[in-house]
Structure 1
Amino acid sequence: MAATTLDELLELEHQGWRSLCDGTGSDFYGSIMTEDGVMVLAHGQVFDRPTVIASLQDAPPWSGYEISGERVVGLGEDSAALVYRARADRGGPGTEFTALMSSAYVRRGGAWRLAVYQQTPVPTPGA
């Protein structure tokens, strides 16, 4: 996969995280997810697109996030996965969340759309 694919998908992930920080996550993910897209979340549930949209409407915002170790894996001519480590917090005690993330995108109508998103929590050292 070309470096531009990495840059494009990484920018989409940043847009997603910024939307989770400013309270517009339901709008962002409602527009970028495929109709049959799913999120496999750290708490052990799988949310379809309508459930993702509904769950983000009242979700408390994140106060900040960091992405590191990003890399892209080609899945086909019009599909790729972005894999990275994310650390985010909601600004209070015990609100830090660190996980390995993977986002599988497909290109539809000339734009990248999120088909599958998955989180694997990274345990806090000493926990």
Structure 2
Amino acid sequence: MDELSLDALLALEHGGWDALCRSAGGDFYGELMTAEAVMILVNGMILDRATIAATLNESPPWSSYTLSETRLVPTGQDATALVYRASARRDGQDEPFIALMASHYRLVDGRARLTLYQQTTITH
């Protein structure tokens, strides 16, 4: 399977969301992100790999999520971005979190690795 295909990257994204539902996102993304990668969150925070790995397991878990409107945006040789819409809920939350996501991946030693992730909320 092409490591940068839509199916392969969606599998990685689902793996990440599943990890977030189990409060294991720090472990998952600490492994998936490149050393220089960052996540840009809707609240304006920019978190590097070390911060993600050290803190994300402590975030409240998501109870459910859906990913839709997926598409790939090629960005160069051995790199692409996966763009999608996510809707997620946490227990006790009245409204879902709905955002557009962009996850940029690059092949490193034949394996897709996350280099940049950005959220753009559509609920605020």
TM-score by length of 2: 0.93
Number of the residue aligned with 2:86: 86
Q: CA deviation at 1:123?
A: 2.1
Number of the residue aligned with 1:9: 9
Q: CA deviation at 1:99?
A: 0.2
Taking the TM superposition and a 5 Å limit, the aligned residue runs for 1:1-127 are 5-94=5-94, 96-123=96-123
- Give unmatched runs, 5+ long, in structure 1: none
Deviations along 1:35-79, one digit per CA (max 9) or x if unpaired, are 000000000111111111122121111001000000001111200
Tell me how far apart the structure 2 counterparts of residues 56 and 45 of structure 1 sit (CA, whole Å): 13
Q: CA deviation at 1:103?
A: 0.2
Counterpart amino acid of 2:64? G
When structure 1 is superposed on structure 2, of 71-80 and 86-95 the one drifting more is: 86-95
Tell me how far apart the structure 1 counterparts of residues 16 and 95 of structure 2 sit (CA, whole Å): 19
Tell me how far apart the structure 2 counterparts of residues 101 and 59 of structure 1 sit (CA, whole Å): 18
- Give unmatched runs, 5+ long, in structure 2: none
**Post-superposition, which runs of at least 4 consecutive aligned residues in structure 1 deviate over 3 A?**
none
Provide the aligned C-alpha RMSD in A: 1.4
Counterpart amino acid of 1:87? S
Counterpart amino acid of 2:34? T
Tell me how far apart the structure 2 counterparts of residues 103 and 13 of structure 1 sit (CA, whole Å): 8
Q: CA deviation at 1:95?
A: 5.4
Counterpart amino acid of 2:63? S
Counterpart amino acid of 1:61? P
Tell me how far apart the structure 2 counterparts of residues 14 and 88 of structure 1 sit (CA, whole Å): 12
Counterpart amino acid of 2:58? D
Report the CA distance shift for 1:82/1:98 in structure 2 as closer, same or farther (over 3 A).
same
Counterpart amino acid of 1:119? Q
Tell me how far apart the structure 2 counterparts of residues 116 and 93 of structure 1 sit (CA, whole Å): 28
Tell me how far apart the structure 2 counterparts of residues 87 and 12 of structure 1 sit (CA, whole Å): 17
